[in-house]
């Protein structure tokens, strides 16, 4: 019986890690899409917050906040935020940035 519980716990941890990686890859895709639509250079993407909670659709899931850095002129860096529920982009926050011609 102990072996069964140990197997369930280890499997759950591995599944959670794997799903967290899928969410991080989705956040990177969303950040790349934002950079392309803004015509800026994407510098980095990092997870700043992750928790389990009730999503907008009423189901249980993972809520994540990612920070991404971008540059519009190659000299300065700006930080935006992406809010995800599971792999779906819910909201984004972008700072004012310099537009180059």
Residue 101 in this model has a pLDDT that exceeds 80: no
**Tell me: the pLDDT tens digits for 29-87?**
999 999 999 999 999 999 999 999 999 999 999 999 999 999 988 888 999 999 999 99
- Give me the CATH topology for the region 1-100: Nuclear Transport Factor 2; Chain: A, (3.10.450)
Q: What is the DSSP letter of 55?
A: -
Q: Would you give the end-to-end CA distance of the chain in angstroms?
A: 67
**Tell me: the pLDDT tens digits for 4-37?**
999 999 999 999 999 999 999 999 999 999 999 9
For residue 54, which phi and psi values (nearest 5 degrees)? Answer: -85, 125
| Whole-prediction pTM | 0.84
């Amino acid at each position: 019986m102990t072996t069964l519980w140990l197997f369930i716990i280890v499997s759950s941890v591995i599944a959670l890690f794997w799903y967290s990686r899928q969410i991080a890859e989705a956040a990177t895709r969303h950040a790349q899409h934002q950079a392309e639509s803004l015509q800026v250079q994407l510098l980095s993407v990092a997870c700043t917050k992750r928790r389990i909670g009730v999503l907008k659709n009423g189901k249980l899931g993972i809520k994540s906040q990612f920070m991404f850095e971008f540059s519009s002129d190659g000299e300065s860096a700006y930080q935006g935020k992406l809010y995800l529920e599971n792999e779906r982009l819910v909201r984004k926050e972008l700072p004012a940035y310099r537009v180059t011609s």
